[in-house]
Amino acid sequence: MATTKTDPKLALTANGAKKSKLYEGLTRDQLIQAYRIIYTSRRIDDREILLKRQQKIYFQMSGAGHEGIGTAAGLALKAGYDWFYPYYRDRALCLALGVKPYDMFLQGVGAADDPSSGGRQMPSHWSYPSLHIVTQSSPTGSQILQAVGCAEAGRYLARHPKAAEIPASSSKDYRQFKNVSFQGDEVTYVSLGDGTSSEGEFWEAMNAAALGKLPVIFCVEDNGYAISVPVEVQTAGGSISRLVSGFPNFHFEEVDGTYPMASYAALQRATRYCREGHGPAFVHAHVIRPYSHSLSDDERLYRPDAERERDAQRDPVTRTQMFLLREGILDEKGINQLEKEVEAELQTAVDAALEALPPAPESVTRFVYSPDLDPASSTFDTQAVAPEAPVDGKKPAGKTMADLITMTLRDEMQRDERIVIFGEDVADCSREEYLKRKLVKGKGGVFKLTFGLQNEFGNDRVFNAPLAEAAIVGRATGMATRGLKPVVEIQFFDYIWPAMMQIRDELSVIRWRSNNGFSCPVVIRVAIGGYLTGGAIYHSQCGESIFTHIPGLRVVFPSNSQDAAGLLRTAIRCDDPVLFLEHKRLYRESFGRAAYPGPDYMIPFGKAKVVHPGTDLTVITYGAVVPRALQAAQKLEREQGVKVELIDLRCLNPFDWDTIAVSVAKTNRALVAYEDTLSWGYGAEIAARIADQLFDQLDAPVRRVAAKDVFVAYQPILEDAILPQPNDLFLAMKELSEY
Ligand SMILES: Cc1ncc(C[n+]2csc(CCOP(=O)(O)OP(=O)(O)O)c2C)c(N)n1
Ligand SMILES: [Mg+2]
C-alpha cells in the first residue's frame, strides 16, 4: 500500500485565498469552524488547569498540541454514524463531534449529570453514546482491540441485517435492551499516543484489522514523548510509520498533525479508503505536547527549554490563526470576536458546572450489572423437558457435559443470529474449501465442543482467531458494545492472563464506568482445572477467585451436564459479561451425565443445588470437587452414619448465600472445599461470611480443604498429593463431624 506524505507548506502555497477556493477540501467557513474548535479546546484546558489549581476539580489531562489532527478527524468523520475510540488527548476531536464544553467541565467537577460517567471517571475519559464515542479508560491502548471488534460488528450486521432486529422471541433476553444500529460504509476511528504503540494490544489489533480488511482508522498522535520517555527509546528506529509499513491491506498516511488542513486531507483519504471497503488505514500524525504530560508532571525535568521552544513554533492554535489571517479568511477583528465568543461560552459553562450537583453516595452500586435483566431472577428459571422415553425398557445413555454444551451452543445460535463464536481452533476448518469438498471432517476446538458449528452456521459466525487472548476478549468486547453476543473461548484457563487487562479493566467495568451508557455482555468459555494425570503446571490451573473478585463479572462453574446446559443458556441470554468455567476433567466424566434438557432450559445464577441432603455437617463446594466430595460423604455415612449435606454452588458470582445459611443453621458445622490453592482462595470468602454471619449457629470452627499452595505438578503422584482427593475430604469431614 502506498504511503501518502502531505507536506503542509506545499499544501498551503498551492491554495489561494479566493472565497470559493477549498483549502485541502475545507471551505472558508469550515476553517473558521476548525479554528473555533482548536481555540475552544485549548482554552478549556487552560480553564481546567486554573480550576485544578483552585482545587475546584480533581484532575486534569490536556489535549494541547493535538488539536489540529483531532479537529480534522471530527470534520472528516460523522458523529452518530461512524464510531470513535478516542484517547485522553482528543478533546478537540470530541468538540468537533459535538460534545459541549459544559459537558467537559461536568467531568472535571465529577457531577452527577456528567454524561460520560456521572462522576465515576477522570476528566478526558470520553463517553457519549449518541455521538458513538465509546467509553474510554485509562490503560494505554486497551481501546484499540475494541475498536477492531466494533468494526467487525458493523460488518457482521451489514451482512446479517436480520440480527439487528429485536424478535418477539427475545422478550426474555438481552436483545430487548440493545438497540442495534449500523451503516454499510461506517468507519471506526481509534487514536493512541506514540508510546502506546509499544503495547502488544496495538500490534494484535493491527494484525486483526489487516487480516479482516476492516474499516478502522488507527491514528497515532505522535508528540515524541510518553510522559518522560522519548520516541527513540520507545519505538525501534524512532518511526512507528516505518515499523508498521509491512502490514498488508493498509492505507498509510504520515502528516503534520498540527495543521488541520493537511490533517483533514490525510484523514479524508484514509476515510475514503475505509468506506470503500479496501481495508484499514494508519495515520501517523506528528503533533506537539506544549504542556507537561499532566498536571502531576513537570516536563522541565527532562526537556530543555530549547526543545520546548522549538515545539512552540508548531503550536496548532497560533499556526491556524496565522493561516486564517494570511489567507484573509478572518482579520484581526474577526479573530478577536471569535475568541471573545468562546471565552464567554466557557465562562457560562464553568459557572454552571461549578453549581452542578455531585452524585449521591448511595448511587455507587448502580450499574455494576444490568439494571434491566437479573440473571438470578425467575425469568431464568425454566423446567427441563422430560427425557426421551426408555426404548425396550433401557434408559437412554446420558449425555456428557461436552455434548450438552455443544447442543446448547447450537440451539442458541439457531435462536439468536447475534451470537458469534471465535477463539483458538474453535472452527471446524479455516480453509473452508476442505470442508466443502469433504476432504476433512473438521476440528471444532481442542476439546471439540464447537465441532460442527462452523459447518452448520458458516464462518461468519464461527471462526478461528489469531493466537492472542487479549485480542479475543478485546474484540468480543467491541462487538458486544455494538449489540452482538460473542461467545468466545479461551482454550485453557492457564492462558487467560494476556486477556486480564481486557477482562478486569474493560469488559467488567464498561457499564459501570459509563453510568450505563454502554454494556458488553460477552460470554467467555474457559476450560479449567486439573485431576488430569499429566496436566502439569500449565494445563491444570484454577484461579476462579481472581475473577470473582472483579465487580461486574458473573462467574459460573458447573459440575454436571444438565447444569452446564442450563447455566450456559442463562449466560448467553443475560445482559452481563460472564466467565463460564468448564472443568476439563468433567467434560466426558461418567458422573453427572444427563439427557438434553431442551432448547429453553435455564438455571438462574446464584442458585446452589443440594447434591446430598444431610443433618450433621454442611460441605460447600463446586466443580470437580463435587463428585469427590460426594464419594467422601457417602463413605462417611456408610461407615460412621454421619449425614453430610453437600451443596454444589454451581455459580460463584453471585453465589447462593441463603442455601448455605439454611444448611449451616441445621447442621451447625461447615466445611468449604475447592480445587484451587488454599490461601486467599474462593473458600476464604465463604468461610469468612459464615464466621461473621452464622457465628451463633456454629458448634465447630469453619474448615477448608483445598489444594496445597503450589502449582500442579506433572508426575501423577505429585498431582495427587497437591490436589484435594476424596480421602482428604473424607478425613476433614470426619474430623469436623467429631469436633
Ligand atoms: C497500561 C498502562 N501503562 C501505564 C500507564 C501510565 N501512563 C499514562 S499515559 C502514559 C504515557 C502515554 O504516552 P503516549 O502513548 O505517547 O501518549 P501521550 O500521553 O504522549 O499523548 C503512561 C505511561 C497507563 N495509563 N496504562
Ligand atoms: Mg506521546
pLDDT in tens, 112-156: 999 999 999 999 999 999 999 999 999 999 999 999 999 999 999
| Nearest-ligand number for the alpha carbon of 122 | 1
Most distant pair of Cα atoms in the chain: their distance: 100
**Burial call 570-594: b when 16+ CB within 10 Å, e when fewer:** bbbbbbbbbbbbbbbbbbebebbbb
139 lines ligand 1 (CB under 6 A): yes
* Single pTM value for the model: 0.96
Number of other CB atoms surrounding residue 381 within 10 Å: 13
Per-residue pLDDT for 393 more than 90?
Answer: no
Q: Which of 196, 228, 297 to mutate to test the pocket of ligand 1 (most atoms within 8 A of CB)?
A: 196
Per-residue pLDDT at 394 exceeds 80? no
CA distance 374 to 386: 27
Q: Which ligand is nearest to the CA of 293?
A: 1
Q: Is the CB of 721 under 6 A from ligand 1?
A: no
604 lines ligand 1 (CB under 6 A): no
Ligand nearest to the CA of 193: 1
229: Cβ below 6 Å to ligand 1?
Answer: no
Task: Report how far residue 168's alpha carbon sits from residue 210's, in angstroms, rounded to the nearest whole number.
Answer: 37
The mean pLDDT of 375-388, rounded to a whole number, is 92
pLDDT greater than 60 at residue 425: yes
CA nearest neighbour of 649 among 694, 683, 607, 619: 607
Tell me how far the alpha carbon of residue 90 lies from the centroid of ligand 2, in angstroms. Answer: 13
pLDDT value of residue 389: 72
Distance from the CA of 297 to the center of ligand 1, in angstroms? 12
Helix, coil or strand: residue 647: strand
Q: Kindly write down the DSSP assignment for every residue of 655-703, as one continuous string.
A: --HHHHHHHHHHH--EEEEEEEESTT-HHHHHHHHHHHHSGGG-SS--E
Task: Please list, in sequence order, all residues whose beta carbon lies within 8 angstroms of the beta carbon of residue 52, skipping any fewer than 6 positions away.
Answer: 58, 59, 60, 108, 295
In the sheet that 578-583 helps form, which strands lie side by side, from edge to edge? 462-464, 419-423, 485-490, 523-528, 578-583, 554-556, 651-653
3-state secondary structure of 27: coil
Across the chain, mean pLDDT equals 95
- Residue 441 predicted with pLDDT over 80: yes
Looking from the CA of residue 66, the nearest atom of ligand 1 is 21
227 alpha carbon – ligand 1 mean position (Å)? 7
CB of 140 within 6 A of ligand 1: the answer is yes
Pocket test for ligand 1, best of 140, 232, 258, 504 (most atoms within 8 A of CB): 140
Ligand 1 centroid – CA 491 distance (Å): 31
CA distance 508 to 693: 28
Half-sphere exposure of 148 (CA within 13 A, CB side): 26
Question: CA dihedral in degrees (192, 198, 204, 205; nearest 10)?
Answer: 10
Whose CA is closest to 558, among 589, 534, 514?
A: 589
Task: Please state, in angstroms and rounded to a whole number, the distance separating the CA atoms of residues 422 and 228.
Answer: 39
Cα three-residue angle 575-423-403, rounded to 5 degrees: 80
- Mutate which of 60, 62, 227 for ligand 1? The one with the most ligand atoms within 8 Å of its CB, which is 227
Atom of ligand 1 nearest to the CA of 221: 21
The model's pLDDT over 18-33, given as tens digits with 9 standing for 90+, comes to 567 889 999 999 999 9
For ligand 1, the distance from its centroid to the CA atom of residue 141, given in whole angstroms, is 8
Residues surrounding ion ligand 2 at CB below 5 Å = 193-195, 223, 225-226
Which ligand 1 atom lies nearest to the CA of residue 501?
1
Decide: 592 in ligand 1 pocket, CB within 6 A.
no
Please calculate the CA angle 155-160-162 and round it to the nearest 5 degrees.
Answer: 135
Minimum-distance ligand 1 atom for the alpha carbon of 140: 26
| pLDDT attached to residue 5 | 57
Residue 15, pLDDT above cutoff 70: no
pLDDT of 320 > 50? The answer is yes
CA-based radius of gyration for the chain: 29
Query: What is the set of active-site residues?
Result: 539
In this prediction, residue 3 has a pLDDT band, given cuts at 50, 70 and 90, of low
3-state secondary structure of 582: strand
Q: Which atom of ligand 1 is nearest to the CA of 138?
A: 25
Interatomic CA distance for residues 480 and 578, integer angstroms: 12
The alpha carbon torsion through 104, 109, 115, 116 (nearest 10 deg) reads: 80
pLDDT of residue 247: 98
In the prediction, which pLDDT does 430 show?
97
pLDDT of residue 9: 45
* Between 394 and 184, residue with greater pLDDT: 184
Residue 513 has pLDDT above 80, yes or no: yes
State whether the beta carbon of 193 lies less than 6 angstroms from ligand 1.
yes
Retrieve residue 461's grid coordinates.
459466525
Give dist(CA 342, CA 46) in Å, integer: 13
Q: Which ligand places an atom closest to the C-alpha of 138?
A: 1
pLDDT of residue 387: 76
Q: Is the pLDDT of residue 178 over 80?
A: yes
